[in-house]
Amino acid sequence: MEKKPNKFFSRMSNEELFEYVIKNHNGKTLKQLIEDESTVYNQVRKRKLLEELLRKKVLIKLTKRGLYERMNDNHILAYLEKRHKGKYMTDLIKDECSLYHVLRERGLIKKCLERKILFHKYRYNFFAAMEDMQLINFVKKNYMGKTLSKLEEDDESTYKNARERNLLEMLIDKGILVRSKVANKTWRDLNFALKEAKSFMEKENYSTLPSQGVLCNLGYSGLSCAIIRYHGGFPAFREKLREYLGHQSQKSELEGLIKDYILEGAD
């Protein structure tokens, strides 16, 4: 759209300016209007027309993410092609992170790559300077809980570097990545989480389940996230774990101690 000078709008009546906004900016957010024609935004604000434009839903007071969530997949792809065609994935994340997250949540990343709207950037030098533990922490920070196939789809360069260094199995063992969507869903399964907690305690020689921080520091972020996200948090999960291991619950143990104390007093 060709941007017009401020004088063009200052000569308009309120009705003409209102019709101009309807014709050229209908359905946009305030932020998009500012980006596309800041002079129009300044004029409608100066004339106190914003409230009426919002009330009639000519303009939308939404975050960009809110706008994207109202679009169907085809509209999002059309918008992406118009504004970001030819960009690297990393550039899109930097420019419109909320759009990237919507694409990822809807499973549209692969389609964007196949249509050559977006491209992966093979950041070889970026990873070449990293030691193995730095790369592991990079994956943990940016791709926690993803499947191997999803990592490859979203960031092929990171996947290739981890594979070339034989780190994929370690990332899985640490609970940072999972093998498949089925494996990802298993964290929702209480019995699976309890089994993993038991295995951790035996392997690391813990008699009780430690804190979230300890689990994460030891590389068991997957278990830690599952406890918080799916199983009611650490106190509730510890109670379930005690039952799973055949131990008395804290409540039962306390009741037993009180009972023993009363019996000893009676003697």
Residues 28-71 pLDDT 10s:
888 788 888 888 889 998 999 988 998 888 887 766 677 777 78
DSSP assignments along 18-43, one per residue: HHHHHHHHTTEEHHHHHHH-HHHHHH
Question: In terms of residues, how long is the chain?
Answer: 267
Structure tokens at 51: 């409230």
pTM: 0.35
- pLDDT at residue number 251: 56
Euclidean distance between CA atoms 75 and 77, whole angstroms: 5
Strands 59-60 and 28-29: parallel
Question: pLDDT in tens for each of the 267 residues of the chain?
Answer: 566 777 788 888 999 989 999 999 888 888 788 888 888 889 998 999 988 998 888 887 766 677 777 788 998 899 888 888 888 777 788 788 888 888 888 888 888 888 888 877 655 566 777 889 999 988 888 788 788 888 887 777 788 889 889 998 888 878 788 776 545 557 788 998 899 899 888 888 888 898 887 887 776 777 887 888 888 888 899 999 988 888 765 555 555 545 555 555 554
**Whether the Cβ atoms of residue 88 and residue 55 lie closer than 8 Å to each other:** no
Measured CA to CA in angstroms, residue 177 lies from 12, 47, 159, 194, 237 at distances of 59, 54, 11, 19, 22
Return the amino acid letter for 138: F
**CA dihedral sign, ordered 35, 38, 43, 45:** positive
Shortest CA distance to 239 belongs to which of 259, 253, 229? 253
Within 13 Å and on the Cβ side, how many CA atoms surround 104?
Answer: 18
Reported for 35-40, long-range contacts at CB under 8 A and 24+ positions apart, including other chains, are 36/1, 37/1, 37/3, 37/4, 39/3, 39/4, 39/5, 39/6, 39/8, 39/9, 40/9
Contacts of residue 71, defined as CB under 8 A and 6 or more positions apart, other chains included, come to 79
Contacts of residue 60, defined as CB under 8 A and 6 or more positions apart, other chains included, come to 27, 28, 29, 30, 54, 66, 67
- pLDDT at residue number 180: 65
Shortest CA distance to 50 belongs to which of 14, 79, 74? 14
Structure tokens at 194: 């309890």
The two most distant CA atoms of the chain are separated, in Å, by 101
- pLDDT at residue number 33: 86
Domain boundaries, the chain: 6-62, 66-119, 124-180, 187-250
